[in-house]
Structure formats: C-alpha cells, structure tokens
Structure 1
C-alpha cells in the first residue's frame, strides 16, 4: 500500500461522507497487533472531544493540511445547587463537582510551514482543531478502540 495524492484524496472523500467529518484508516496488519497506527483524514468542523490517554503517549505527524493540537489541564470547580455563594458549613449534598479544562498549550501543525507534528504526553488532556483539510499519521500503544 502506498500513500500518494490519489490515496489521500479517497480518504478525504470518505471523510466528507462521514457525519463526523473524519475518516480513520487502521494500519495494523492483524487483530493481534495491539499498537495503534492509523491515518486519519480530518475536515474543518469535525469535533474531537477533549480526551486523554492514561497509558500511552501519542505521536502525531501531519502529511498535509493545517491543524492545531490543543493541550489542556483539568480544573475542578464546585457549584452550589442553591446559589452562587457557598456559606461555611454548607452541606455537601448541595455541592456539585464540575470538571472544566483550561488550555495550556496550542501546537500548530502544518507541513507547508515546516511544522510536521508533535508528541502528546501520556495523560495529557487534548483535542484537535482542524484549520484546513488534513491527514495525520497517529501512533500510540494499546488496542485500537475506534473513532
């Protein structure tokens, strides 16, 4: 299998047909292969929820296009169900823990600008923002669970 302009064009075509505006091609050679190696065509407007991989780093290399990898830190916030202020001694039954994410780093990737990819640290919360149609090669440890 070779990855040329026609091949990537077909991957983009499949992404346009997918309601998620992306298409993943699993590059494993067998089900016994527990690594993850894939090509992913991403179109502007695709929504990749903020997520993390607790057990592995993630390597991302962009073959074409332009996108940002956005790294976040998790911030716990607490809400009072009764009001915006939380008086001393408030019973815990009225408090809700809410997880929020604060952007801490934005990694711009664009091969035309000689910015080819990045390595996302294990446990880092992240997402991708697609600026123009892009194809990335993504690799990480562990069995592929689908996109």
Structure 2
C-alpha cells in the first residue's frame, strides 16, 4: 500500500521549493519499464515545464490536482494558446486528461501545488516527449519572460 497524505505532500512541496527547478516528483511506479507511470509532482511558482507532446510513441497523460492551483495550457503547432484550464479544488476543476499528440504545459499558480500524474509507459527519456520548437528550452535566459507573457495573457488579474 502507498499512502498519499498531508505529510507526504508537505515534504514534497518543501523539497520542490528548495530545488533549482522549483519542482519535485515522487514515483509510485516500479521503474521505467512499468506500463503505467504514476507519480506525485509538486510545482512551485516559477517552475518551467517546457511545452511538449507525447506522440511517438503516443501516450496519454492525466493530471489530478491534490492541492493548490495549476494552469494547464494547450497549444497549436504554431505555439498559440488554444485552450486554458485552471485546475483548482476551490473552483471545482480537479483534473484533465491530455490526449496523445497535444502540445501542453502546466504552470503553478500557488505555492504548495501538487498533482497526481498518470502516464502511459514505459518511460524512455529518448522518446518520452517532443519539446515545442517555438518555446525556449529549460534554463534559457528567455524562460522567465516567456512564462510572464503566458501568465499575463492567460490569468485574469495577474
């Protein structure tokens, strides 16, 4: 049995807040070969998950919010936002299933945001995801401005 409780979420969020990338995951799956990848992901404001898709091989991805707020953005092939969903328990929006081949990213809107993520496996870092060519790579100097623009355009009263 694997228990998800407040202590686990607090510990994970604490680790994420101290991490350079401002996020931390906690795996429940048995390893990369597992056909169902399951994990907690703690996202702190300022973390950058480069827009990506899971297409070759095709994989579904499910995000279930456990606490906090997470903005999910979906894009067309040119990098324009086509849909935005704010996951928030307060607003009654708890999760989203992302179909294979759809450009997407998540942006933390609140400290202590944690999701439970499920994704088809197995995990192979060589072909797990295709990163959007129109978005800056993680660690690039323009990431901060890119995130700020996405938030400004997609979050009321940001």
Same fold by TM-score greater than 0.5:
yes
Query: What pairs up with 1:11-90 in 2 under 5 angstroms?
Result: 11-54=12-55, 55-75=58-78
Please report the TM-score for the alignment, with normalisation by the length of structure 2.
0.72
Q: Which runs of 5+ in 1 are unaligned?
A: 76-100
Please tell me whether Structure 1 or Structure 2 has the larger radius of gyration of its CA atoms: 1
Higher strand share: 1
Higher RCO (Cα < 8 Å, 6 or more apart): 1
Tell me how many residue pairs correspond in the alignment: 121
Q: Which runs of 5+ in 2 are unaligned?
A: 126-158
The RMSD of aligned alpha carbons is 1.5
Please report the TM-score for the alignment, with normalisation by the length of structure 1.
0.77
1:14-62 Cα distance to aligned partner (Å, 9 max, x none): 1122100000111113454232111000000000001001111211100
Kept in 1: contact 2:26–2:40 (CA 8 A) = yes
Runs of 4+ in 1 over 2 A off after TM superposition: 29-32, 143-146
